Amino acid sequence: MNFYNGGSYDVVVVGAGHAGCEAGLAAARLGLKTLVLTISLESVAMMACNPSIGGTGKGHLVREVDALGGEMGLNIDKTFIQSKMLNTGKGPAVHSLRAQADKLQYHLKMKQTLENQENLTLKQGDVIDLMIEEGKATGVKTRNGAAYHGKAVILATGVYLKSRIFMGEVNYPSGPDGLATTQELPAKLRSYGCNMRRFKTGTPARIHGDFVDYEKMTEQKGDEETTPFSFLNQTLPIDQISCWLTRTTEDTKAIIEENIHRSSMYRGDMESVGPRYCPSIEDKIVRFTDKPTHQLFLEPEGVHTKEMYLQGMSSSLPEEVQVAMIRSVAGLEKAEIMRPAYAIEYDCIDPTDLQLSLETKAIENLFSAGQFNGSSGYEEAAAQGLVAGINASMKIMKKDPLILDRSEAYIGVLIDDLVTKGTNEPYRMMTSRAEYRLVLRQDNADLRLTQKGYEVGLVQENRYQRLLVKKEEIEQELKRLKKKKASPKDINPILEKIGSSLLENTLSFYDLLKRPEINYKVIEPLYIESKDLMQDVKSQCEVIIKYDGYIKKQLRQIEQFKKLENKRIPDDVVFEKIDSLRTEAKQKLESIRPHSVGQASRISGVSPADISVLLVYLEQRKRGNENV
């Protein structure tokens, strides 16, 4: 086939899902001529599964993307229909913001952002091959016969590579929601040295809201005071739409058990591995046989649609079984399915084939992000897309890549886990994966990362100045709190009302705020200095004061972590020649090619003893003697 010259760009992004959008916007905003190709313009930032952004662990990623200059936080702030802060009964480290989106508006607003972005061209095109010259990616070829040249290529193909839909005995090639699939590209990538694997995911049915008996369900309202995802926004007052809580019944369980042999997964039709932390309803019934019922959430998909998302009921059962199963649920006795549930298999890359910059090891100037890297979720995709977009741009501009380590960001944990440890199932971000989560809170993402976004070039000057003002206000407020004293005469009546122990002597407001039951609302009648402070400044001061000892302890742990991270491993080290290393360690180290001793220590199959050998080797090499 002859390919015509479609044009030359700095960066070519393949895919316009949540990863591709962030990658394309990052490159364009850094001044590079950028092309974003998508299999369908209807798939731009499409929410093929849950119409929401954030949640436990994931909300951290969104706020970090925003702090670095990404778009996801701003886009959900424009289009949410309900907002809720999760885990507020626990400590601040696990507080996670989650917002229900207007699915169509989320897509349209993001598409509009891409269309209006300077330096960015958005086109519909199905990429079937890469252009490779001397081991470097130099562009892509499309089914329509166009060849687009680029200095770097970013693959953000989501679940569209050789994707196949499964519903019971029925299965056929297709992307999500009836969109097309790309068949040729996976084989081409394998021929270029990329190690590919097959994963699966699934999505529940969408039902018509007019056929739901809401009186049999429990209403789930959003927070009265909404918290924005973007640090650029302060308050976002809207009329929120409720979600609804219900449960399956014993009849539901019986229907599934009677038809389990018809599930695509249990029939053995699928060869892939699905996400452990997002099981199908069949999996729940099989794995938790002692539970007679399971919790479900009914979530609206937007303001101008009757479609409702049935969270907690993804399935690969036949459509007629889905009808019976759903109608056995309390409040859904007359339910009408608008879109049936399905499972989808797709090809993705083994993420251990990537460097921490998200550049592939097999092909220079080829970067990748999102579900193509073996992760699941919009938020994980956006985080990787942003990093891939930045680092492809840095490579072209001959600058150092942006590498966030595990002590700096959830994004660092996400990428390090994928690249260093790999994954045998679609990877999902959780707070438990972050060792330093008390420091990596969602509320301080701007304090941690906006400086880095500014240094890279994504964060504009006015935003950076806002950050500096905020830092100064926090610092000055902490000083004032230490200096300002509360007398027993003035504060004791307030303390008595809330059941807090009374004072015998004067005490600083700083020390008062250490008490769990004391916050700014309690002390402000006497501490008028804080009345003009923004709420986020007050919140930061409260967390810093209440968790001072724990934060200091974690910072000491981070210092130890940094010592190993800062012990760099030269690129020319041949691990196979380090005699004292075990064979498995040699093989794993050669495969992953870690950049530091810290990264090497997290590779599965590399023991503490191997790390000791590696440390001795590096010291000997430094002294000019490589014989260990």
CATH number at residue 549: 1.10.10.1800
Domain assignment of residue 466, yes or no: no
Residue written as token pair 């003002």? 469
Q: What is the pLDDT of residue 237?
A: 86
Total domains, the chain: 4
Mean pLDDT of the chain: 95
Q: What is the pLDDT of residue 152?
A: 98
Within this chain, do residues 370 and 491 fall inside the same structural domain, yes or no?
no
Domain assignment of residue 335, yes or no: yes
272-302 tens-digit pLDDT: 767 777 789 999 999 888 999 999 999 999 9
Whether residue 626 is predicted with pLDDT greater than 70 in this model: the reply is no
Within this chain, do residues 236 and 262 fall inside the same structural domain, yes or no?
yes
Within this chain, do residues 450 and 394 fall inside the same structural domain, yes or no?
yes
Whether residue 391 is predicted with pLDDT greater than 60 in this model: the reply is yes
Domain assignment of residue 561, yes or no: no
Say whether 307 sits in a helix, a strand or coil: strand
The residue type of 9 is: Y
119-148 tens-digit pLDDT: 999 999 999 999 999 999 999 999 999 999
Q: What is the pLDDT of residue 341?
A: 97
Whether residue 269 is predicted with pLDDT greater than 90 in this model: the reply is no
397-428 tens-digit pLDDT: 999 999 999 999 999 999 999 999 999 999 99
Within this chain, do residues 592 and 490 fall inside the same structural domain, yes or no?
no
233-252 tens-digit pLDDT: 988 889 999 999 999 999 99
Q: What is the pLDDT of residue 532?
A: 84
82-98 tens-digit pLDDT: 999 999 989 999 999 99
300-353 tens-digit pLDDT: 999 999 999 999 999 999 999 999 999 999 999 999 999 999 999 999 999 999
CATH of the domain at 601: 1.10.150.570
Q: What is the pLDDT of residue 268?
A: 85
CA angle 154, 157, 163 (to 5 degrees): 155
User: Residue 196 corresponds to which tokens in the numbers above?
Assistant: 């590919």
Burial of 587 per CB tally in 10 Å (0-12, 13-18, 19+)? middle
Within this chain, do residues 179 and 295 fall inside the same structural domain, yes or no?
no
Domain assignment of residue 478, yes or no: no
Within this chain, do residues 309 and 278 fall inside the same structural domain, yes or no?
yes
Of 414, 409, 399, 412, which Cα lies nearest the Cα of 455? 399
Q: What is the pLDDT of residue 581?
A: 92
Within this chain, do residues 271 and 169 fall inside the same structural domain, yes or no?
no
Domain assignment of residue 357, yes or no: yes
CATH of the domain at 165: 3.50.50.60
Q: What is the pLDDT of residue 616?
A: 92
Beta strands in 301-459 (DSSP E): 307-311, 337-339, 342-349, 366-368
Q: What is the dihedral of CA 109, 114, 116, 121, to 10 degrees?
A: -150
Within this chain, do residues 490 and 595 fall inside the same structural domain, yes or no?
no
> Distances in Å between the alpha carbon of 6 and those of 39, 125, 209, 330, 486?
16, 11, 45, 55, 71
Within this chain, do residues 333 and 353 fall inside the same structural domain, yes or no?
no
User: Which one of 509, 524, 554 terminates a domain?
Assistant: 554
Distance of CA 370 to the CA centre of its chain: 9
Within this chain, do residues 587 and 536 fall inside the same structural domain, yes or no?
no
Whether residue 625 is predicted with pLDDT greater than 80 in this model: the reply is no
The lowest-confidence range among 64-78, 144-158, 268-282 is 268-282
The lowest-confidence range among 27-41, 524-538, 557-571 is 524-538
- What is the C-alpha to C-alpha distance for residues 593 and 353, in angstroms, rounded to an integer? 10
Domain assignment of residue 470, yes or no: no
User: Which one of 344, 371, 387 terminates a domain?
Assistant: 344
419-459 tens-digit pLDDT: 999 999 999 999 999 999 999 999 999 999 999 999 999 99
Given pLDDT bands bounded at 50, 70 and 90, which one contains residue 627? very low
The reported pTM is: 0.95
User: Which residues share a beta bridge with 83?
Assistant: 99
Within this chain, do residues 358 and 326 fall inside the same structural domain, yes or no?
no
User: Residue 522 corresponds to which tokens in the numbers above?
Assistant: 């309690």
CATH of the domain at 241: 2.40.30.260
Mean pLDDT for the stretch of residues 7-32 = 98
Domain assignment of residue 474, yes or no: no
Domain that holds residue 175: 4-200+346-456
Within this chain, do residues 179 and 247 fall inside the same structural domain, yes or no?
no
Say whether 248 sits in a helix, a strand or coil: coil
User: Which one of 437, 456, 475 terminates a domain?
Assistant: 456
Residue 132 near residue 363 (C-beta atoms within 8 A): yes
Domain assignment of residue 146, yes or no: yes
Say whether 11 sits in a helix, a strand or coil: strand
Mean pLDDT for the stretch of residues 562-589 = 92
